A and B are shown apart, each in its own frame.
Chain A
Amino acid sequence: MLRTRTHYGLTAATLAGLMLVTAACGGTTRGDADDSGGAEAAGEADPNAEIPEGLAISYLPKQLNNPYFTYANTGGEEAAEELKGEYKEVGPSEANASSQVSYINTLSQQGSDVIVIAANDPDAVCSSLQQAQQAGSVIVTYDSDTGKDCRDVFINQATAEDIATTQVEMIAEQIGGEGEIAFLSATPNATNQNAWLELMEEELAKDEYADIEVVDTVYGNDDDQKSFNEMQGLLQTHPDLKGVVSPTTVGLAAAARYLSSSDYKGDVTLTGLGTPNQMKEYVEDGTVEEFALWDPKNMAYLAGYAGASLSAGRITGAEGETFEAGRLGEYEVGADGEIVLGPPTVFNEDNIDDYDF
């Protein structure tokens, strides 16, 4: 008796599951052609259109309590103020792929005019961004892009080429142009970091860097403790290591902290991308000579202006259009709706006190 009932229950549950499967039979494989869900933004740009007052400009960082974004978004607030818009910052407290989706939906439901987002996962946020677009929001990505069908423009903090060459120049100069180096990156699927790593390898393949050898790439997952441990592991596995490049702020700070308290201090060079406040101590105590970064505040500021210009119809996101971005001057929309902020800034003992982020 009991047994039959159990079986009924199981069969029912399995059937319900199978219904889902068989509902769309036909065999969909990867090779099949598929219509993309993206809709191209159309329409004419009117460079003289007025930017209306009271635009709702909302910033959705990767994660709310991330100091990098907290600082960056002060630039967003500044832009919104100048444009007489309504600034808002919302976001999940943990940076994972799907957590941003419900915030996008909420912003869209609230009728936000401009959504400025740094995507945790280029794909997971895509369909909800498209829905928000259809509901009338302008989508600007900053820091980390999504697929180009899912947003209007992307504020690129610096071209990957600029970032790669700046870092290669710094490390080459500091280790005297020869020796073993390694990379301490964020996560293995971080879009930015991977592009930079690839370009750095290309740059290092040039003749002038022939004596520099990349021996390892490790990933600290943008987690302080993990990065710390990975740095430790790097130095132990490669006794002849001359330098480490960490193209992520979390990684660089953790690596510097490890280096400053270890026996390797002074022997191993460390550089990469970092924030002046986090690195000040290590620049002062000689652990790190110089490092680079863009100014995230300007990035968010530019995103605010780009969003407002799109919302007002001054630009449509097509290549070659230009717009005014307040104190930063005029910018041009590049291929695929990319707007480049500018070359990265190099920080060292001489200028580090001029920045506060």
Chain B
Amino acid sequence: MTGVSATQAPVAEHGGNGAVRTGRRIRQVRELGILLALVLLVAITTLTNPNFLSSQSVRDLLLGATLLTILAVGQSMVIITRNVDLSVGSTLGLSAFATGTLFVSLPALPIPVVALAGVLVGTVCGAVNGALVAAARVPALVVTLGTLYAFRGIGHWWAAGEQINAADMPDTFLGLGRVAVLNIPAPALIALAVVLTAGWYLGSYRSGRELYAVGSDPQAARLVGIPVDRRVFFPFVVNGSLAGLAGVLYAARFGTLDATVGTGLELEVVAAAVVGGVAIFGGSGTVYGAALGAMLLTTIGAALPMLRVDPFWQQAVVGLLIIVAIGLDRLLVLRAARRLRGGESRGA
């Protein structure tokens, strides 16, 4: 798939001043676009059914978007380095089940310790992926397709047909979704913190900006002395940990856990990132965009039943949205490239 990216002009974060400015403008246009779509969707749905903006409904919507947002942030960091992690659904399932199992087998453990252990399960999975991609130099798509099967298999084997029920977990843990500040549920605040931290890291840290350089052109990045392998490894570990965190939150929210938790989630997560303007071949996009993409996909899911649209349409609409989103990206990139060619020299 290098073939396609080679013909595109990736708008990188580094390089000429004009490119940086144009790149930022493109992103802003893109992110404003999603925000607009989101606002429109909410407005139309609310007009049809005023209940859509009731406090309970908003709370449910935010809770619903939490998991996908956290996963989309991690996935974006991986995609920005021109990789992909297809194993997130399996990682989430493994970590959710690990969390539940710890509560069952060691009821005396304090909740934060259990939660941390759940996150660590994800970290380990992410480190396995990252090591295989960065050190063994295996294409990420192949590695994570393999670990998608392997992690899921381990989950099934571990669960062995058992299910963990809400009654097995402490009430304080299950009540996490009911804790709210200003009517914003605690898990959504966690997701917000994740988005802001990741966004700040990518924007303000040298190593964060280098992720874009690695994704734009790995060869060039290596030549200018960026430790490419380390920059490829790190996002996988972060993404794994975030999938672990999402697993813990899943356990808290849904209470019923078995080995199939999170099946098929990977493509939804990639879709959220892509809709949010993260280029599938790396080098461009922000976690804010990805978070908006996740919000939009979740809102579509919640709005269609309210708009009395046959729920069968939901998937088709999401598919169309993905294509429109990448088409829009392409258009913006082309326009920017034309403008750059006219004015200053092409960046990166």
Contacts and interface: CB of A to CB of B under 8 A. Distances in A.
**A–B interface present (Cβ within 8 A):** yes
Interface of A: 63-67, 69-70, 93-94, 218-219, 224-225, 228-230, 232-233, 236-237, 239, 253-254, 257, 261-264, 277-278, 280-281
A261 B177 contact: yes
B299 to A, nearest CB: 12
Interface of A is mostly: helix
A263 B58 CA distance: 13
Q: Which 3 pairs from chain A and chain B are nearest by CB?
A: A67-B163, A70-B161, A236-B51
Of B64, B162, B260, B263, most A-chain CB atoms within 10 Å: B260
Given A224-B256, A229-B64, A236 B54 contact: yes
B33 interface: no
Q: How large is the interface on B (under 10, 10 to 19, 20 to 34, 35 or more residues)?
A: 20 to 34
Contact of A93 (B162, B259, B311): B259
Interface string B50-61: 011010110010
A76 to B, nearest CB: 13
A253 B51 contact: no
Interface stretch (B98-106, B188-196, B300-308): B300-308
B159 A65 contact: yes
B305 A230 contact: yes
Contacts of A236: 49, 51-52, 54, 56-57, 306
Nearest to B51: A236
B178 A239 contact: no
Given A93-B152, A93-B259, A237-B306, 14 more contacts: A64-B161, A65-B260, A66-B258, A67-B258, A94-B260, A219-B311, A224-B254, A228-B254, A229-B60, A233-B302, A236-B52, A257-B255, A277-B165, A280-B165
Contacts of B52: 236
Interface in B33-58: 49, 51-52, 54, 56-57
B167 A67 contact: no
B156 interface: yes
Contacts of B184: none
Contacts of B305: 218, 230, 233, 237
B328 interface: no
B49 A237 contact: yes
B166 interface: yes
A280 B49 CA distance: 35
Of B49, B156, B254, B255, most A-chain CB atoms within 10 Å: B255
A43 to B, nearest CB: 37
A60 to B, nearest CB: 14
Contact of B263 (A94, A218, A228, A257): A94
Contacts of B259: 65, 93
Interface string B164-199: 011100000001011000000000000000000000
26 contacts: A64-B156, A65-B160, A65-B161, A65-B258, A65-B259, A66-B258, A67-B161, A67-B162, A93-B152, A93-B259, A219-B311, A229-B64, A229-B302, A233-B305, A236-B49, A236-B51, A236-B306, A254-B254, A257-B256, A261-B175, A264-B56, A277-B165, A280-B165, A281-B165, A281-B166, A281-B167
Contact of B256 (A94, A230, A253): A253
A253 B259 CA distance: 17
Contacts of A254: 254, 256
A264 B57 CA distance: 12
Of B52, B152, B178, B258, most A-chain CB atoms within 10 Å: B258
Interface in B119-174: 152, 156, 159-163, 165-167
Of B49, B64, B305, most A-chain CB atoms within 10 Å: B305
B293 to A, nearest CB: 19
A229 B301 contact: yes
A67 B161 CA distance: 6
B56 A225 contact: no
Contacts of B177: 261
A191 to B, nearest CB: 19
A103 to B, nearest CB: 15
A262 B54 CA distance: 12
Contacts of B156: 64-65, 93
B53 to A, nearest CB: 10
Nearest to A73: B161
A92 to B, nearest CB: 11
Contacts of A67: 161-163, 258
B85 to A, nearest CB: 21
Interface string B64-78: 100000000000000
Interface string B307-325: 0000100000000000000
B51 A239 contact: yes
Nearest to A95: B260
B148 to A, nearest CB: 13
A225 B306 contact: no
Contacts of A264: 56
A352 B57 CA distance: 33
Contacts of B178: 261
A236 B303 CA distance: 11
Contacts of A257: 166, 254-256
B308 to A, nearest CB: 9
Contact of A278 (B54, B162, B165): B165
A80 B302 CA distance: 47
B346 to A, nearest CB: 33
A66 B64 CA distance: 24
A345 B231 CA distance: 59
A29 B60 CA distance: 49
B98 to A, nearest CB: 16
Contacts of B161: 64-67, 69-70
B312 to A, nearest CB: 9
A236 B307 CA distance: 12
B256 A278 contact: yes
Nearest to B261: A224
Contacts of B163: 67, 70
Given A233-B306, A237-B49, A237-B305, A263 B56 contact: yes
Contacts of A229: 60, 64, 301-302
Contacts of B301: 229
